[in-house]
Amino acid sequence: MKKFTPSHIKGGSMLYLYYYEGELPPSELLRAHLGDAAQDVRRPESLVWRLLLKQALCDLATSGDAATMLAHIRSTESGKPYAEGARFDFSPTHTAGLVALAIGDCGPIGLDAEAPRGRDISRLARAADRWFTPAENRRVQTAIQNRPQKAEEVFLRVWTAKEALVKRTGAGLAGMRRADTRHHAGCTLQSFDYANYILTLATSAPDTPEFRRIFF
């Protein structure tokens, strides 16, 4: 898997991954930074990724006012967020201690992140049997039998790849069974290790994103 040190990854003309690591700031502080864009947003993680998007819009000098674009974020029926009229796509994700957002102008984007935390192997086996393709399931079951200490990591690499694929298309949870991490024509999957996290990015282009850590 690709390793990165935040600050040295360089990519294409516009493909970035913004992230915040650590304890989430108080919601009141996040709302103060977002202003009207925080209306109807309840989850702290959702406030953070909107701030990441705001920072990205300011950094990348995209056309249109950042505050206006943030106020026009909508979601598809499956829950994929998008900005009306934008020339870019973005995909947020969060897990314990990390909120991240990929943004680019290379077509649809999907991003997912997870961290191993000692999940029960029997539960992983059941989840793989339910959601994974036969080949993906065999990969996990083989790890459980032969390398149980690595089974959770193997599961999460497949899971984050599938999540990234369905987030890219907007298929939602209903598309998890059909998403195939081995056969995904027209899409590039990239997996990154950072600290204890596994991040997987699905894009139409093979460019490696530039990572930018944000502090509040």
Question: What CATH number is given to the structural domain containing 196?
Answer: 3.90.470
In a domain, 106, yes or no: yes
SS (H, E, C) the chain: CEECCCCCCCCCCCEEEEEEECCCCCHHHHHHHHHHHHCCCCCHHHHHHHHHHHHHHHHHCCCCCHHHHHCCEEECCCCCEEECCCCCEEEEEEECCEEEEEEECCCCCEEEEECCCCCCHHHHHHHHHHHCCHHHHHHHHHHHHHCHHHHHHHHHHHHHHHHHHHHHHCCCHHHCCCCCCCCCCCCEEEEEEECCEEEEEEECCCCCCEEEECCC
More confident residue, 90 or 7: 90
User: How many domains in the chain?
Assistant: 1
Q: Is residue 200 situated within a structural domain?
A: yes
Determine the structural domain holding residue 49 and report its residue range. Answer: 2-115+186-213
Is 33 within the bounds of a domain?
Answer: yes
Average pLDDT of every residue of the chain? 90
Query: Residue 40 domain-assigned?
Result: yes
Residue 13 has pLDDT above 70, yes or no: no
pLDDT score at 62: 59
Domain-embedded: residue 108: yes
Q: What percent of the chain has pLDDT over 90?
A: 72
Q: What is the pLDDT of residues 42-75, one digit of tens each?
A: 999 999 999 999 999 888 865 566 777 888 899 9
* pLDDT tens-digit readout, 69-121: 888 899 998 889 998 888 889 999 999 999 999 999 989 999 999 999 999 99
Query: What pTM, to 2 d.p., does this model score?
Result: 0.90
What is the arithmetic mean of pLDDT over 187-208? 94
| 98 part of a folded domain | yes
